[in-house]
Structure 1
């Protein structure tokens, strides 16, 4: 998946009210970012590079694998494929959404 397809997939998974109650960013480096504003209802998903309470840094290919179910979030974290900065509790709640 490219960044736009990943953004659309995250938007579909997040829905109008994900229950995350946080600002979250998937940072794919030079490939771009996916920003989730789950503080407001309806939740919004964009490619704006804004500050977030939790940032998950990973390669675009790993984000695609995460969204398709090929990569388990916990295994990805343990293998170093994704790094979490900021509020770890948001990342833990993210498992229910992704």
Structure 2
């Protein structure tokens, strides 16, 4: 599965069943392998995914394509990845924790 199709699938799941993301209002940026950038914005129970840098992110996550797919499907230990350098977070780390919690609800 490609990263883009994984993000699109997640976007559909979340928009169909937005109860778990109602209070999440933030823009996340994913800096991936080979310079690929995706932004996921949450706004009052609605999720939108964009290619490239269009908005000002509050939280940026840098990781490989393989690891972002694991993050989306719930098989990625973010704490261990952060400690071993497989995941780098800039901006609001609290938002990164909220994202992980939200993703767990949609695996």
TM normalised by structure 2 equals 0.75
SS at match of 1:38: strand
More helix as a share of residues: 2
User: Which stretch of structure 1 is more off in the superposition, 18-27 or 7-16?
Assistant: 7-16
Runs (4+) of structure 1 moved beyond 2 Å? 12-17, 39-43
Cα displacement (A) at 1:54: 0.6
Based on CA coordinates, which of the two structures has the bigger radius of gyration?
2
Mark the runs of 5 or more structure 1 residues left unpaired by the alignment.
none
- Say which structure, 1 or 2, has more relative contact order (CA 8 Å, 6+ apart): 1
Flag the 1:10–1:49 CA change in 2: closer, same or farther, 3 A. Answer: farther
Q: Quick one: distance in 1 between partners of 2:88 and 2:14?
A: 20
Compute the TM-score of the two structures, normalised by the length of structure 1.
0.81
1:28 paired residue number: 32
Deviation at 1:80, TM superposition (A): 1.2
Q: Structure 2: any 5+ residue segments left out of the alignment?
A: none
> For the aligned residues, what is the CA RMSD?
2.1
Kindly provide the CA deviation profile for residues 63-91 of structure 1, in whole angstroms up to 9, marking residues without a partner as x: 01222222122222122111000111110
2:58 corresponds to 1:61: no
The 1:80–1:14 alpha-carbon spacing in structure 2 relative to 1, beyond 3 Å, is farther
Give the conservation status (yes or no) of the 8 Å contact 2:31–2:63.
Answer: yes
